[in-house]
Amino acid sequence: MPLILDGNRIRDDIKSELKPRVEALAAQGAPPGLAVVLVGNSPASEIYVRNKIKACHDLGIYSDSITPPGTISTEELLATVRDLNQRPDLDGILVQLPLPRQVDTKRILEAVTPAKDADGIHPCNVGRLVAGLPGPRACTPAGILEVLRRYQIPVAGKRAVVVGRSDIVGKPVALLLLHEHATVTICHSRTTDLAAVCREADILVVAMGKAAMITGDFIRPGATVIDVGMNRIDSRDEVARIFRNSPEKLASFDRRGSVLVGDVHPLDVVEKAAAYTPVPGGVGPLTIAMLMVNTVAAAERRAGVC
């Protein structure tokens, strides 16, 4: 049986490590603060944001959620972000993505002052990542590197293949792996013979948003597989197909009306990988943990602790 890389356990360890840092800041009268901006009412985004606010609460981080209507214009949202930039009680600002179509996402992300960029995706902070300078890192990529580090999975000299080239996962995780001396390939929807490229990977990171697409023939035996996908399957037939009629999964579907599946085939990965992140309970919890890390680090910089 492969090693299951337990994101919930690492999340709990990270939170325990952050707690005394939050308490020290609070004792100085400068508790960390995070604003989460959730535009409109996407049920998926609402769940993510609720979990982020809960994580703040658990740690004693002050949080404020700002919930403008889905009809907001770019100019109005820019004004909201500029107000948050000015607020002394906030160390971090996170604008939950995706934004509605009428909003210019790049302008909004660029409007967040880089020092408060809890998500690590402001172009200045992306530039710092490229240059190997310190700064907030994108949360999911930073969480993936924490998994590899805490499970002591060797990265230097290894072949890493990243499937997906998004600004918030694919590109930054490729750079982080490169900085750890992996030989990195980035694949995407136009990659020729994706399976053959993926089979070269000692470390395979998948963030493409297609349920169970990475089947056994994409996975080198003994690889470490990191699955960033979170796909909600609400068709019973599809659950039966992916899980090969597993009675437990079908019973779970019948109870809840849906089942979460990553981008990696959940049965094939067990056959092929030496280690893998499950869905749920793998990468997901770490995204929020690293958001907390970025917020606390920003508060420490403001307080002059580091």
Catalytic residues: 52, 96, 119
The answer to whether 210 and 231 are in contact (CB under 8 A) is yes
Structure-token pair, residue 40: 């409109």
Nearest CA to 99 out of 107, 89, 87 is that of 107
Stretch that binds ligand GUN, among 12-20, 58-66, 93-101, 235-243 (CB under 6 A): 93-101
Would you say 80 or 287 has its CB closer to ligand GUN? Answer: 287
Would you say 287 or 295 has its CB closer to ligand GUN? Answer: 287
Going from the C-alpha of 205 to that of each of 137, 161, 218, 292, the distances in angstroms are: 17, 6, 12, 23
Smallest distance, Å, CB 95 to ligand GUN? Answer: 6
Work out whether 119 is an interface residue with ligand GUN (CB under 6 A).
yes
What order do you get walking across the sheet with 33-37 strand by strand? 62-66, 33-37, 92-95
* Touching ligand GUN, residues 129-168 (CB under 6 A): 139-140, 168
* Touching ligand GUN, residues 167-196 (CB under 6 A): 168
* Touching ligand GUN, residues 2-31 (CB under 6 A): none
Nearest CA to 118 out of 290, 273, 255, 265 is that of 290
Q: How far apart are CA 93 and CA 73, in angstroms?
A: 19
Q: How far apart are CA 154 and CA 182, in angstroms?
A: 9
Smallest distance, Å, CB 110 to ligand GUN? Answer: 14
Work out whether 95 is an interface residue with ligand GUN (CB under 6 A).
yes
Residues 6 or more apart in contact with residue 91 via CB below 8 angstroms? 32, 33, 34, 116, 118, 295, 298, 299, 302
Work out whether 294 is an interface residue with ligand GUN (CB under 6 A).
no
Would you say 140 or 295 has its CB closer to ligand GUN? Answer: 140
Q: Can you tell me which of 38, 39, 56, 94 binds ligand GUN, judged by CB under 6 A?
A: 94
Would you say 102 or 235 has its CB closer to ligand GUN? Answer: 102
Structure-token pair, residue 261: 């599946």
Work out whether 260 is an interface residue with ligand GUN (CB under 6 A).
no
Q: Can you tell me which of 287, 289, 292, 293 binds ligand GUN, judged by CB under 6 A?
A: 287
- Contact mark string toward ligand GUN, 225..244, x via CB under 6 A: --------------------
Residues 6 or more apart in contact with residue 198 via CB below 8 angstroms? 161, 163, 187, 204, 214, 218, 219, 220
Smallest distance, Å, CB 230 to ligand GUN? Answer: 9
Structure-token pair, residue 38: 């959730």
Work out whether 97 is an interface residue with ligand GUN (CB under 6 A).
yes
Interface with ligand GUN: number of residues (CB under 6 A): 9
Nearest CA to 291 out of 49, 26, 108 is that of 49
Q: How far apart are CA 141 and CA 182, in angstroms?
A: 15
- Residue nearest to ligand GUN according to CB distances in the complex: 97
Residues making contact with ligand GUN (CB under 6 A): 94-97, 119, 139-140, 168, 287
